[in-house]
Amino acid sequence: MIEHILNKAFFSKTDILRLLNTTKDEAVLLYQKAAKVKEEHVGNKVYFRGLIEMSNICSKDCFYCGIRKSNKQFERYTLENEAILEAARFAYSENYASLVIQSGELQSAHFTDNISNLLKTIKLESNHELGITISLGEQEKSVYQKWFNAGAHRYLLRIESSNKELYYKLHPKDKEHDFENRISCIRTLKEIGFQTGTGIMIGLPFQKLEHLAEDLLFMKDMDIDMCGMGPYVEHADTPLFQYKDQLLSQRERFVLSLKMIAILRLMMPKINIAAATALQAIDPLGREKALKVGANIMMPNITPGVYRNDYSLYQNKPCVDEEASDCKNCLEARINLTGNTIGYGQWGDSKHFLEKQKTLLDY
């Protein structure tokens, strides 16, 4: 049985592999333990970050992603600043307390300056009450610093896979998709003082359980503050789609994602872990199930309805036809059913990060 592993203070790669290989009955023990550790360390509150998908224009060509540069099968859009501010006002008025601004990756001065201005305006308009996470890809240190100074205080940059060989099966092998640069960006974000999040996709072609175990050890080793990870969901207009018959079933990818979340909660009890939207693409209650096994962050989509269909990173994206307020109502009912309550009006920053800060100040 796995009890002796669950009670360990540190997991080895072998321990993690054993936990990833748990049978259905054993997994219940893993989930229960993760739920208990979550309750003890971060409580049973879910914090909202209203998700704004700012633009689907991207200069990169990741092999898994539906909005990659080479995909010509859909309309590109960039939200007007006013639409972004309107979404931010909605989040503020609904007491969501935080936003995530996400976009395809662009490096132009126009893009970076515009983001700075938006961040400043959102902070001003919300009386500095809205917390802002950004997820805008790899940038120069000076750009990250500018955005930090403008008011963003959390950054999400998934490593996608921490295994270099696998990384290059998922990305073109060129300067724009450099594995070392992605790691170095995560380090830079931490240095600047962002609460820094990373994550991976689960159930990718060529991915083995060993890779997933290494990914969790990578997150621990990088001492990250937040994690967003979820199942890989194939997209027909991408190069990786050719491997669709070699994948685990969507259900298996889903279960593996829950196990990954539960194990990470045990390894890093005080970090923030998002219930990734991709979970809901596979199971209508996917995110709620993640909240029951260790996740504590939810990102309700508040992108204006007309654009949602075009921010199609993967197929079956949930809630693409709904208005943001509909999502809020259904979310609330579903979250209450999980035994969690919503931390309305609270940033819900990473306790892991805050305690590190405090230790630094104590010296």
Q: Which residues bind ligand SAH (CB under 6 A)?
A: 64-65, 102, 104-105, 135, 137, 157-158, 160, 201, 232-233, 235, 278, 313-314
Binding region for ligand SF4 (CB under 6 A) out of 59-67, 222-230, 304-312, 355-363: 59-67
Q: Which of the 8 DSSP states describes residue 49?
A: -
What minimum distance in Å lies between the beta carbon of 105 and ligand SF4?
4
- The answer to whether the beta carbons of residues 52 and 85 sit under 8 Å apart is no
Q: Which of 53, 105, 288, 349 binds ligand SF4 (CB under 6 A)?
A: 105
68 binding partner (options ligand SF4, ligand SAH, none; Cβ < 5 to 8 Å by kind): ligand SF4
Q: Extract the tokens encoding 330.
A: 């259904």
Does residue 60 bind ligand SF4 (CB under 6 A)? Answer: yes
Among 54, 62, 157, 295, binds ligand SF4 (CB under 6 A): 62
The dihedral through the CA atoms of 191, 98, 68, 210 has a sign that is: positive
Q: How far is the CB of 62 from ligand SF4 (least distance, A)?
A: 3
* Separation CA 284–CA 293 (nearest Å): 16
Per CB under 6 A, does 317 bind ligand SF4?
no
Helices 179-192, 209-222: inter-axial angle, 10-degree rounding: 30
Name the token pair of 38: 């979550």
Q: How far apart are CA 311 and CA 301, in angstroms?
A: 11
Q: How many C-alpha atoms does 334 have within 13 Å on its Cβ side? A: 18
CA dist 352 and 219 (Å) reads 13
231 binds ligand SF4 (CB under 6 A): no
| Binding flags for ligand SF4, 115-134, as an x/- string (CB under 6 A) | --------------------
Amino acid type, 176: E
If the CB atoms of residues 62 and 266 are measured against ligand SF4, the closer one turns out to be 62
Pattern of binders to ligand SF4 over 331-360, x per CB under 6 A?
------------------------------
- Closest to 87 in 3D by CA, of 286, 299, 267: 299
Only one of the segments 56-64, 89-97, 250-258, 304-312 lies at the binding site for ligand SF4 (rule: CB under 6 A); that segment is: 56-64
Decide if residue 65 touches ligand SF4 (CB under 6 A): yes
Question: Least CB distance from residue 137 to ligand SF4, whole Å?
Answer: 5
CB 91 within 8 A of CB 68: no
With contact defined as beta carbons under 8 Å apart, do 11 and 30 qualify?
no
Measured N-to-C along each axis, helices 13-20 and 209-222 cross at an angle, to the nearest 10 degrees, of: 130
Tokens of 285: 């209650």
C-beta of 144 vs 314, nearer to ligand SAH: 314
Q: How far is the CB of 278 from ligand SAH (least distance, A)?
A: 5
Binding stretches for ligand SF4 (CB under 6 A): 58, 60, 62, 65, 67-68, 104-105, 137
